[in-house]
Structure 1
Amino acid sequence: MKTVTFSFDHPVAVKVFFNCISDPQLKQDIKFLRSDEWGLLHVPVDDIPKGVWKLVLEWNYEDRDFCMERIFESPGAVL
């Protein structure tokens, strides 16, 4: 399984949004994920169509809202 991995200082629960930069017509469902107990979060990207994507994470920690973005290129969904 292909993933984009993030490392946090603490466990998190995040909302993950996918926005295709190279083709704004492409849409993906919002994912709700949890990191492991050490703060590693693996976002699966096997089902992401080919293109350049902006991955946006949103979460709350200690009553503060956070957001992080990462750009990645998907070679296409594995069938």
Structure 2
Amino acid sequence: MKFLRFNFCHPVKGNVHLTLLSKDTPKSQHSVFDSQETNLIEVPIDHCEDGKWKIELDWEYENEFFMHKKEFEIKAHKKIY
């Protein structure tokens, strides 16, 4: 399984937004994350098709709001026989 991993300095709860940028009609997905007692967030990307994507994380910590945005690309691994 493929993941995007984010390591925080403290436990966090928030939202994940994934948007496919490389198609004429952008596709978007939303989910909620909770690192519970760890500092690690793993966002699964196995279901994401090939192309350019944008991930946005937003969360609240100690009454302050934070956001992280990053673009990434998924490329198919072609097998050569």
TM-score band w.r.t. shorter chain: 0.7 to 0.9
Say whether the 8 Å CA contact 2:14–2:59 is kept in structure 1: yes
Give ranges in structure 2 of 5+ residues lacking alignment. 77-81
Q: Secondary structure at the match of 2:29?
A: coil
Question: Does the aligned pair in 1 maintain the 2:54–2:72 contact within 8 Å?
Answer: yes
- Give TM-score, length-normalised by structure 2: 0.82
Equivalent residue, structure 2, for 1:41: 41
For residue 27 of structure 2, give the secondary structure of its aligned residue in structure 1: coil
- Computing the radius of gyration from Cα coordinates, the structure with the larger value is 2
Where does structure 1 differ by over 2 angstroms across 4 or more consecutive aligned residues? none
TM-score by length of 1: 0.84
The one-letter code sitting in structure 1 at the alignment partner of 2:53 is W
Structure 1 Cα separation of the partners of residues 50 and 26 of structure 2: 10
- Pairing of 1:43-62 with structure 2 (within 5 A): 43-62=43-62
Aligned residues: 76
Counterparts of 1:1-79 in structure 2 under 5 Å? 1-23=1-23, 25-75=25-75
Q: Which runs of 5+ in 1 are unaligned?
A: none
CA RMSD of aligned residues (A): 1.5
Identity between Structure 1 and Structure 2 (%):
34
